[in-house]
Amino acid sequence: MPPPEACPETIVMSAKNFLIAILLATAIAAGLFLAVRLSEPPELTTALVLPEPTPLPDFALIDQHGNAVTRDRFRGHWNLVFFGFTHCPDICPTTMQTLSIARSDLAAAGQDPLPRIVLVSVDPERDSPEVIGQYVDYFGDDNLGVTGDLEEIRKLTSALGIYFEKQPGDVDSYNVDHSTVVLVVNPEGGFHGLFSGPHLSRNFVHDVPIIIDAYKGAPQQGLAASDVVVTPPLPGSRMSAGYLTLRNGGSQPVRITRVDSAQFGSVEIHESVVEDGVARMRPLPELKIEPRASVTLERGGKHLMLMRPDGAVESVTLDFYTDDSLLLSVTTDVSDPAE
């Protein structure tokens, strides 16, 4: 007997089910695609983030109130740093206005923390604290104006790759050529990244939260050592010196209160200073390393003094402690850094 023919209603229902299945599969695929896209980290528009933040150099300048500005002044804030001058007719006021608008837009969007706007003068002859103070205040509250000795400014600009050069002209009408980048300095006082010109406020509004969120979410690392050198005792001496760089990759300060070595009777943290032509070596009770910052122990500065070696020492292990908690162990061969 031949199979019964399907009724028209059955054919219609099968077609509907097939269409529904196609639409459902398409929706699921689209949902999965959207979920993958949403899970991807947002991309920066124009900012460049350094693979490893660079600590700011030592410098001594002043702010618009005459207070000291050193690299420690940058700690505890996100900073957008621009190098310019108040007599600039175009680029500088445009950039400062762009930063001011971006900061206002970030505040309106609920960004926390907000970056601080910093103007470092490349024209200290005309940019007194009072002058630069009036200038930065025009572009909003809580801005930091920095000026001071020209050589101290060059210490900062040279370390950060900032160019500036005074051009010939009258006393009151000369110009200063300068870099247009805006640097990002993180709350540990590290050169973190930069925005290249031309600047648009929307680029800062888009990229600054990404930079801050990535920094918050970065994996925390502990104490690490590099460039470790322990010198052999000189003839007739029972002392060696230790030099190295210690980096704190965590989010809290690290205090090194004790260093031990099984190969030496004692290890002390010392600092060499020269005062009025007299060299003095002073013991340090502790060594403090700020979050995501480094301290270098080097000749003529902070160093380790290793005393009373246990025989002929060829390899040394250094144990770094906070009180009784071991932070780091480092092993190295004895060598002369001068070789």
Q: If you write DSSP's letter for every residue of 226-271 in order, what string do you get?
A: EEEEEPPPPTT--EEEEEEEEEE-SSS-EEE-EEE-TTEEEEEEEE
The conformation of residue 67, written as its DSSP 8-state character, comes to -
CB of 204 within 8 A of CB of 79?
no
Taking only the tens place, the pLDDT of each residue in 278-289 is 888 899 999 999
pTM value > 0.85: no
* Residue 310 DSSP one-character state: S
Residue 274, CB-side half-sphere exposure with 13 Å CA sphere: 4
Q: Give the model confidence (pLDDT) of 162-214 as tens digits.
A: 999 999 988 888 999 999 999 999 988 899 999 998 999 999 999 999 999 99
Q: Using CB atoms within 10 Å of the CB of residue 89, give its burial: 0 to 12 exposed, 13 to 18 middle, 19+ buried.
A: exposed
* Type of residue numbered 125: E
One-letter identity of residue 283: P
pLDDT digits over 13-31, tens only? 455 455 445 544 544 444 4
Q: What is the pLDDT of residues 34-86, one digit of tens each?
A: 333 334 558 999 999 998 888 899 999 999 999 999 998 998 889 999 999 99
Walk me through the domains of the chain, giving residue ranges and CATH numbers: 48-216 (3.40.30.10), 223-333 (2.60.40.1890)
pLDDT in tens, 209-265: 999 999 877 665 688 999 999 999 877 788 999 999 999 887 788 999 999 999 999
Enter the tokens of residue 190. 């590290």
